[in-house]
Structure 1
């Protein structure tokens, strides 16, 4: 066994558990949001494409990202002995970027896969943060949040983080609100039958496949994977050396979310408005082109599902 492939040590008190893990009753609220393609591509180039090759690179898809608030009732490892350790509740707030893998052959470029890139993700417990960062490579941060307890009685959403509002030598780490979602209507009247079969087509229409040079039927099939039967996640995993100068590990990872059961799906009827605040620690305007201040969201939806988060495998470098 080489030094580069030593066994990971699950020493006593180490909270890292082995995947896959089962997510039961994941209540997800989703909102498509307008982004700036140039800024998104710069973010992708500074993360995923740092390990790109002459033949393969990653590119942002379209003019929309997806913002989700997900309350997961129960998470537990499926792998012994960790499946006997217990379970936890977890809430995730994520900005997902649709990303395509582009492979080059001479002067030709082909889109060979669509991924969802959880480029910004906040969670509510330390176990979720440590396991997500260490094993999969999720760029997770701790947060405080508000979200509805039931899809039938909608309330406002908000996300706050311990961070610096302005970078300066005199700035103190404090809790600041980064974003909120508000609606005037508090009840969702959209029929449950509105429904999952339409999801891929509605999202594909929003993304405008012809405008992007992608066949509409292919785009519909790729985007439907977000809710059924599998969503392919791509991640940028890295760890710094002791000086924070070099990466002792740096790779692009792939981890599928395998949908096991969908309990309910709805398009949300009320109109929502997203409010973004400027925080120097988390500059969403600079990262993704989300404008500071109020803005519209598109195709709000709700889904309750069970899914397995599978192990992560290295995509690049090969």
Structure 2
């Protein structure tokens, strides 16, 4: 406990609960979709690189982003003070940026930065945003397969402004879709480790990367994820009353500990992925994802249990 800070008040009706928390039967489908390295890096620079760390900068590894749809059957706090409150279901749809922590221009560590997140659970939205600093938005309008179903269709609809204008009104719009176009084979693998080995090969072979990485250092950093632990990097900030200055702005590390892998599969299915430009969430401008349909790479599925530990502050702006 930091004695220089006032104690956080868990007053009656406050839904914030203390970590860690546990997720059971997290059914994750993942794909790698292509953006533009310059726009991805610009997004990284406008968020996590805004937190000052001497000699440290974060660089996007590749023009490829990981898109995941994860249905979590059961989520609950394991903190003794909150573990008897109950549990809830949660669905997360996330665009991840693989980033390298560069210390004096050398790869020091690799993180996954969940840059765009939509959840269907207000409890998860509030706790994730307030405690960890996840950049979460809410929607309960989405499509994804249940455990054991053929992964044929995925979609996400959000309340958003299609275009900004004085007379514009917020309305539901389908922001992204994936559809199976050609059924292939499935290959069982041991877990995240094998998937990440193929993913890093995909990232390394991306020809548009403008950075000269030491890929042996990248692979060495990623090898610890076979343990497995997924290291997430977050940009946490809260605005003042005018939304002009940040009352708090920090770089956060949030490890997800994989407790058990029930099954892991890599597919050779072919999909068509498409997005729609929305002024509220311009994925084409944020990450350089083309408005033209594309074929995502390395579709996979992992069914697992994991724990989310407390957020760790790496650095903050004063």
Same fold (TM over 0.5): yes
Match of 2:218, SS? Answer: helix
Q: 1:269, CA displacement in angstroms?
A: 2.6
Distance 1:37 1:193, change over 3 A: closer
1:258 aligned to 2:257?
yes
1:140 matched to 2:136? The reply is yes
Residue 151 of structure 1 and its aligned partner are, at CA, apart by: 4.0
Distance 1:124 1:184, change over 3 A: same
CA shift at 1:184, angstroms?
Answer: 3.0
Alignment of 1:293-308 (within 5 A): 293-308=292-307
> Structure 2: 5+ residue runs without aligned partners?
none
Query: Is 1:269–2:273 an aligned residue pair?
Result: no
Q: Cα distance, 1:192 vs. partner?
A: 1.8
Matches within 5 A, 1:1-318: 5-104=5-104, 109-143=105-139, 144-185=141-182, 189-193=185-189, 198-208=194-204, 213-223=212-222, 228-317=227-316
| Cα distance between partner residues in 2 of 1:46 and 1:2 | 29
CA-to-aligned-CA distance 1:177-230 (integer Å, 9 cap, x gap): 1000001356x6413248755323311221117975445454334445556410
The verdict on how the C-alpha distance between 1:227 and 1:128 changes in structure 2, with shifts beyond 3 A counting, is farther
Per the alignment, in what secondary structure is the counterpart of residue 38 of structure 1? helix
- The alignment yields a C-alpha RMSD, in angstroms, of 2.2
For 1:257 and 1:67, locate their aligned partners in 2 and report how far apart those are by CA, in whole Å. Answer: 17
Q: CA deviation at 1:135?
A: 0.2
**Residues 167/228 of structure 1: CA separation in 2 closer, same or farther (3 Å cut):** farther
1:279 CA displacement? 0.5
- Is the 2:66–2:97 contact (alpha carbons within 8 Å) kept by the matching residues of 1? yes
Cα-to-partner distance string for 1:35-75 (whole Å, 9 max, x where unaligned): 21111111111111111234212111112110000000111
CA gap of 1:71–1:52, structure 2 versus 1, over 3 A, is same
Structure 1: unaligned runs, 5 residues or longer: none
Retained in 2: the 8 A contact 1:227–1:259? no
SS at match of 1:278: coil
Instruction: Give the whole-Å Cα distance in 1 for the aligned partners of 2:8 and 2:246.
Output: 18
Secondary structure, counterpart of 1:5 in structure 2: coil
What is the rounded CA distance, in whole Å, between the counterparts of 1:138 and 1:25 in structure 2?
21
Deviates more, 1:260-269 or 1:190-199: 190-199
| 8 Å Cα contact 2:191/2:302 also seen in 1 | no
* SS of residue paired to 1:82: coil
| Structure 1 Cα separation of the partners of residues 41 and 192 of structure 2 | 30
Decide whether the 8 Å contact of 2:156 with 2:177 is kept in 1.
yes
Query: Is contact 2:273–2:293 with CA below 8 Å preserved after alignment?
Result: yes
- TM-fit CA distance, 1:3: 8.9
Q: Number of residue pairs matched?
A: 313
Contact 2:106/2:214 (CA < 8 Å) preserved in 1?
no
CA–CA distance in 2 between the matches of 1:209 and 1:222?
Answer: 18
3-state SS, counterpart of residue 191 of structure 1? strand
Cα distance, 1:47–1:196 mapped onto 2, change above 3 Å:
closer
CA distance 1:226–1:73, shift in 2 (3 Å): farther
